[in-house]
Amino acid sequence: MTRLAKETAEFGYEGLEYHLGLPGTVGGGLCVNSGWYAHPPSKYIGDPVHEVCLISKDGATRIEPKEYFHFDYDYSVLKKTGEIVLWVDFKLKKADPEELFQHGREALDYRKKTQPFGIPSSGCYFQNIDGKSAGRIIDQAGLKGYTIGGAQVSTVHANFIVNTGHATSEDVQKLAQHVKETVKTKFGIHLEEEIIWL
């Protein structure tokens, strides 16, 4: 994702610069419609999509237009279908490369200040609820720093579960379940995972 954001900005194509610094792949970004929400208007990876080549579970390939994906906050139809992205055709506008890099650097600096950087994580773990920050809710539940095995609720941003060095998938799942149960008990709020387990 970062390489694509950097190269499109370098060549003066606007639309993906706010994804600078995001780990992961373009296909993964499309699956969850990754975005930039810190300053309105929100910018999503699905916004500039024109068409996408997919491979289904049975091995068939086909090309689908943007409308097929029903892009929304943290959502695309790929979450349901399990199809794999082979390539994407983006419609990007020409813009000043320096301005694009400035936007990308702003996004990267913001992420470095507000998210755990340099430690493995899956990114934001739970979806925000009706405009309320899942991280803030988890923090208010007193769970920052809570640890099971090698998995920890980040002390920087409570909606990140980080690997302190030896976490197993079981550690992460147990911790996520504890977070959900604690938030449900304290506030009556049901947290939904943003991440997808394979």
Please tell me whether the overall predicted TM-score, pTM, comes out greater than 0.85 for this model.
Answer: no
Q: What CATH fold (topology level) applies to the domain 2-114?
A: 3.30.465
Residue range 114-165, pLDDT digits in tens = 999 889 998 899 999 988 999 999 999 999 999 999 999 999 999 999 999 9
Bridge partners (DSSP) of residue 49 are: 90
Q: Domain 121-187 class?
A: alpha beta
Residue 144: predicted pLDDT: 98
Residues assigned a catalytic role: 124, 194
Ordered mean pLDDT values, 10 residues apiece, the chain (198 residues): 94 94 90 83 92 97 98 94 97 97 92 91 91 95 98 98 96 98 98 88
For tokens 């809570």, name the residue.
146
**Domain residue ranges of the chain, discontinuous segments joined by +:** 2-114, 121-187
112-125: pLDDT as tens digits = 999 998 899 988 99
Overall size of the chain counted in residues: 198
The total of other beta-carbon atoms located within 10 Å of residue 97's CB is: 16
CA pair distance 17, 75, nearest whole angstrom? 20
